[in-house]
Amino acid sequence: MPTFLKNLRPGTRVQVVGLPDTATLIRVNECRAIVREDRPTTEVSFKDADGELRQFTGRRSHLTSWSPNTVVEPIGFES
pLDDT in tens, 8-37: 999 999 999 988 888 999 999 999 999 998
Would you say the C-alpha torsion 9, 14, 19, 63 has a positive or negative sign?
positive
In tens, the pLDDT along 31-58 reads 999 999 887 778 888 898 899 999 988 7
Q: Is the pLDDT of residue 70 over 90?
A: yes
Amino acid at 3: T
- What phi and psi values does residue 7 have, to the nearest 5 degrees? -95, 0
**Residue 11 DSSP SS3:** coil
SS3 21: coil
Q: What is the pLDDT of residue 1?
A: 64
Q: Is the pTM of this model over 0.95?
A: no
Query: In this predicted structure, what is the pLDDT of residue 61?
Result: 73
Torsion of CA 37, 41, 42, 44, to 10 degrees: 110
CA distance 1 to 51: 58
